[in-house]
Structure 1
Amino acid sequence: MTNEVTVPLLPCASIDDIATFYEALGFHSTHRQRRPNPYVAMRREDLHLHFFELDGFDPEQSYGSCLVLTPDIEELHRAFAAGMRAAYGKVLMAGIPRMTRPRARKNYDGLGGFSVIDPGGNWIRVVQDPAATESPEPSPTGRLAKALANAVVQGDSRGDTHQAVRILDSALAHPQPDDDPVTQVQVLVYRAELAMVLHDRETAAEMLARVDRVVLTVDEAERAASTFEAAADLAAALR
């Protein structure tokens, strides 16, 4: 048969917190109940997410996760980011809830993705739909690019922030004359984002200060435009 629809059913500590968060991202509630069990269904266009509440549930210990395939991760990320800015005054990058930036995933054939970690600790993994993509990102080349790709797998896919930090710190500790400046900016901004996840504001500020010292040509600055947008969001979160 065709036209079946799969809807993820995810745990949370509070359906009220879940509803408030997802409404900020442009969702609306299609069903809500307290009895016989607390349950809320959220929808944004063709994206459906359902949640059930558990007494004593710890979002930090959640293993809840699902994949969202979309033809345009950048568009969806921009919409979510705009919703966060309107509701919270900034893009949430630390703690629970938070959202990562779109980045190519070498463990997803070079296609891009980002994650929303919601108030229930669920990882909503938004990835580029292969069917809507003509050519994924090429395999990374160069020392920094490979380190960044490995760190993204650990930090954004596995959620192992500490291992991602170790990879990037090792790469940043040994700069080379032929390092690509754009990749250097990307590495520094991602390292700042990881610092925010670890509530290390001092390191985040240090990384952003180092971004300001990277010399770029006009063409390189254009290539790094989206990364500078991420840096601006991080700077706003630090204020």
Structure 2
Amino acid sequence: MAGLPTGRGSTMTTNADRVQPNETTVPLLHCAAPEETLAFWRALGFEVAFEQLRPYVYLALTWSGFQLHYGPAPKDLDPAKEHSGGCLVMVDAVASYHAVFAEAMRRSYGKVLVKGLPRMTRYRAGASRFSIVDPSGNTIVFIQRDEPKDVEYGGSKELDGLARVLDNARILREFKMDDRAAYRALDSGMRRRAEDAPAVEQAMALAGLIELATALDKADRVPEWGARLQALSLTPEQRTQVAQYVADPTLLEPWWPDPR
């Protein structure tokens, strides 16, 4: 056919070869609760670049170097099911983002929102991601740009006993954002696996239970976990390991006073 390149020496120019690589991708999220969504992101320090509620919803918010845009939600969308949508935000230092948003929440709400809608997942020292769930049920995930490609998502065959329970609970908490499942896993693990587990693993599980019980309004069981934690004998290095398993080590202080 005329016009088609022929012969081994011919070359073809693709559309991608003619495009200057300077794209910007902006997520467009469902917005089932416009007023609440605007109030939440403003509380976290976002600026509203565009606001339209009629004849249809369109919101544009900016913070630092990224944007979030919102459009109309399906009429049957239930934000509580958290199936609205979401996006990934790749950053160089994820811990600093969590710290800034946590400070903004404390300033605006008097506390860090860790349950219900909206909320932000806890950040454990050394973790590579955290999530914010907005009032419309969208999940915005902040991820360390150099997050290891071989992140273990639980169920490692190299782990067994309580160590495997701890790993699975970490995945449920940090990646699946399911505090209740993580709590159940640790509670069951302590009943079935603690007897033969090293003291440091027992302490990590108890610390996780204290943190999760506090978040899930199961505070009546915290004294039980705390007393068991207090009875364990750990080295300073092991105490550090336990503290790093939870996002807020200050929750352990009533049961685990500073040894210095």
Q: Same fold (TM over 0.5)?
A: yes
Q: How does 1:45-84 map to 2 (within 5 A)?
A: 45-54=64-73, 57-63=77-83, 64-84=85-105
Corresponding residue of 1:33: 52
Corresponding residue of 2:6: none
C-alpha change, 1:228 and 1:193, in structure 2 (3 Å) is: closer
Once the 2 structures are TM-superposed, how far is the Cα of residue 153 of structure 1 from its aligned partner?
2.7
Question: Mind listing any 5+ residue stretches in structure 1 that lack a counterpart?
Answer: 105-109
The answer to whether the 8 Å contact 2:162/2:197 transfers is no
Provide TM-score, normalisation by structure 1: 0.75
- Structure 2 Cα separation of the partners of residues 223 and 46 of structure 1: 35
Corresponding residue of 2:9: none
Q: Identify the match of residue 118 of structure 1 among 110, 118, 134.
A: 134
The answer to whether the 8 Å contact 2:121/2:174 transfers is yes
Corresponding residue of 1:107: none
- Structure 1 Cα separation of the partners of residues 40 and 231 of structure 2: 36
Once the 2 structures are TM-superposed, how far is the Cα of residue 200 of structure 1 from its aligned partner?
3.2
Q: Identify the match of residue 164 of structure 2 among 146, 169, 183.
A: 146
Corresponding residue of 1:5: 24
Corresponding residue of 2:120: 99
1:164 matches 2:164: no
| Larger Rg, first or second structure (1 or 2) | 2
- Structure 2 Cα separation of the partners of residues 47 and 222 of structure 1: 35
CA deviations over 1:47-79 (Å, ceiling 9, x no partner): 221223546743112312222211212111111
Aligned-CA RMSD value: 3.5
C-alpha change, 1:46 and 1:34, in structure 2 (3 Å) is: same
C-alpha change, 1:179 and 1:5, in structure 2 (3 Å) is: farther
Give, as a single letter, the amino acid of the residue that structure 2 aligns with 1:123.
T
- Structure 1 Cα separation of the partners of residues 143 and 63 of structure 2: 16
Once the 2 structures are TM-superposed, how far is the Cα of residue 24 of structure 1 from its aligned partner?
2.5
- Structure 1 Cα separation of the partners of residues 166 and 114 of structure 2: 18
- Structure 1 Cα separation of the partners of residues 59 and 24 of structure 2: 18
Provide TM-score, normalisation by structure 2: 0.70
1:187 matches 2:205: yes
C-alpha change, 1:213 and 1:30, in structure 2 (3 Å) is: farther
From the two aligned structures, give the one with the greater helix fraction: 1
C-alpha change, 1:203 and 1:178, in structure 2 (3 Å) is: closer
**What SS does the aligned partner of 2:248 have?**
helix
The answer to whether the 8 Å contact 2:30/2:72 transfers is yes
The answer to whether the 8 Å contact 1:91/1:233 transfers is no
- Structure 1 Cα separation of the partners of residues 223 and 133 of structure 2: 23
Higher relative CO (Cα under 8 Å, sequence separation at least 6) belongs to 1
The answer to whether the 8 Å contact 2:124/2:248 transfers is no
The answer to whether the 8 Å contact 1:59/1:120 transfers is yes
The answer to whether the 8 Å contact 2:199/2:232 transfers is no
The answer to whether the 8 Å contact 1:185/1:227 transfers is no
Once the 2 structures are TM-superposed, how far is the Cα of residue 187 of structure 1 from its aligned partner?
3.3
Once the 2 structures are TM-superposed, how far is the Cα of residue 9 of structure 1 from its aligned partner?
1.6
Q: Identify the match of residue 20 of structure 1 among 29, 34, 39.
A: 39
Give, as a single letter, the amino acid of the residue that structure 2 aligns with 1:43.
T
**What SS does the aligned partner of 1:175 have?**
helix
- Structure 1 Cα separation of the partners of residues 107 and 210 of structure 2: 23
**What SS does the aligned partner of 1:130 have?**
coil
The answer to whether the 8 Å contact 1:15/1:52 transfers is no
Question: Mind listing any 5+ residue stretches in structure 2 that lack a counterpart?
Answer: 1-18, 254-260
**What SS does the aligned partner of 1:153 have?**
helix
